[in-house]
Amino acid sequence: MNMLAFATRNTKEILRDLLTLLFGLGFPIILLLLLSAINAGIPEEVGNTMFEIQNLTPGITVFGLSFMSLFASMLISKDRTTSFILRLFTSPLRASDYILGYTLPLLPMAVIQTAICYIVSLFLGFEFNINILLALVVNIPISVVFISLGLLFGTVLNEKAVGGICGALLTNLSAWFSNIWFDTGLVGGWFETVADILPFSHAVNAGRYAVAGDYSQIMPELIWVIVYAVVLTVTAVIVFSISMKKDK
Amino acid sequence: MTAIKTENLTKKYKDKTVVNNLNLEIKEGELFALLGVNGAGKSTTIKMLTTLVTPTSGDAILFGKSIVSDRQAVKEITSVSPQETAVALNLTVKENLQLMAKIYGFKGSQVNEKVSEIITEFDLEEIEKSKAKTLSGGWQRRLSIAMALISEPKILFLDEPTLGLDVLARRELWEQIEKLKGNTTIILTTHYLEEAESLSDRIGIMNKGVLNAVGTANELIERAEAKDFEEAFVKLSKEAV
């Protein structure tokens, strides 16, 4: 399986870039701690349940996954500037091998990041229940969405541009339209429509239903995310395949 | 047996013809050097033969496989050491070699056997656990060539393999390349005339995308009525201008 060899190489590349790794894994935790502190300062009579730990944690885990886009896009765009990738382009690896090879190492990282968030949340008052394990699984499709987006941007943009697109634009978009920081229904109009069309709020809702044990509500939300994950992965393979055939 | 046969191989970028109707035949086991000044079309030719660039017209057949219609099969029998050092910088020497062995389909104990063999062949024992990014330019280039060879390619493309290396490192690489002669078909591009003269069975001189002359170093000197190979190169390069 030459794809697995390439995936192993990418795993080593990610694990050996400690600064990016620590930032990716640590930033969601900082947010969780910060927002929990803010929530503690909000008087109960205000009735804001958004930042309560049971609601906040599934949202932060999805937001944290947006950093997977940055990881993926940096890895692929950096590779594209090297002669090493030219060497690989002359090898028998196919476009699907590249996309899977980049995706596979990031998926366990995404699950670990989500798990760390939930573990930290237990110290902040999150009630432990077995549904946390379900929430880890429910986050996998949105992880694939973010990774595929990263691979897509990393394939078409240079290293500098992906920092802006995946590091700033995508993380902001996924924050605004995700129901994590505020209820998009309160804004209403086109904003709510866009939030409903995009996968982010559906992923957050599915996570919240999962930890609440409201099983029947999970799939209607998750199916949106799964469709995005499949479409984006296939698109990433096609775009990468086109980029491979372009003259070097 | 014919290893490579190009048939009117041509590459154009808009109005500019970079390689023009290249017709060339290289025998199995031959070390063929492509010489030319900057912009002669050497690297583009190599890129077409290694499927990195699609020809505008014409074709090349590598051991019966077309670079136009059978790219995947061509990739399985060829290997390239690009002009710039092409190694994974965060991997160790051994990991780089293992990666390439696995990508080309070696499995289980075969991988370690092949890696050990190449490490010995290229005298990489001392640095096998060092990350590629910590190596000098000469060692990185040596590793880059070792990575190209680990797949046991039928055809090996060496694009400016000694570019930027000091005299000692260059001589050491020449020794490695010498050892490969006869077993693997090698296409070498270089700016160093003495490198081509010393290593090659035959030499092709390109200028402005056209193959001006092909022959052994002595044949080319004779044809150009020159006193040495450098003079022959200058004369033959100018021939089609």
Residue-wise pLDDT for A185-205, tens only, equals: 888 889 999 999 999 999 999
**How close does chain B come to A13, measured CA to CA in Å?**
6
Residue type, A222: L
Sheet containing B31-35: which strands, arranged edge to edge?
A: B78-81, B155-159, B185-190, B31-35, B202-207, B210-215
Q: Pick the residue of B14, B54, B56, B103 with the most A CBs within 10 A to test the interface with A by mutation.
A: B103
Window B:135-194, CB contacts with A under 8 Å? 144, 147-148, 151
* B85/A83 touch (CB, cutoff 8 Å), yes or no: yes
Residues A24-50 have a mean pLDDT of: 81
Residue-wise pLDDT for B58-91, tens only, equals: 999 999 999 999 999 999 999 998 888 889 989 9
Q: Which of A2, A245, A247 sits opposite B103 (nearest CB)?
A: A2
ipTM of predicted complex: 0.87
- Range in A20-24, A92-96, B7-11, B74-78 the model is least confident about: A20-24
* A13/B90 touch (CB, cutoff 8 Å), yes or no: yes
Rounded alpha-carbon distances, angstroms, from residue B188 to B12, B46, B179, B192, B194? 22, 9, 14, 11, 13
pLDDT of residue B183: 84
Taking CA–CA distances from A14, the nearest residue in chain B reads B90
Rounded alpha-carbon distances, angstroms, from residue A220 to A178, A201, B27? 16, 12, 64
The yes-or-no verdict on residue B203 having pLDDT over 90 is yes
Going by pLDDT thresholds of 50, 70 and 90, the confidence category of residue B240 is low
Chain A residue numbers touching B87 (CB-CB < 8 A): 84
Chain B residue numbers touching A94 (CB-CB < 8 A): 72
Residue-wise pLDDT for A118-147, tens only, equals: 999 999 988 888 999 999 999 999 999 999
pLDDT of residue B241: 45
Contact with chain A for residue B237, Cβ under 8 A: no
Domain segments of chain A: what residues? Answer: 3-247
Window B:50-89, CB contacts with A under 8 Å? 50-54, 72, 75-76, 78-89
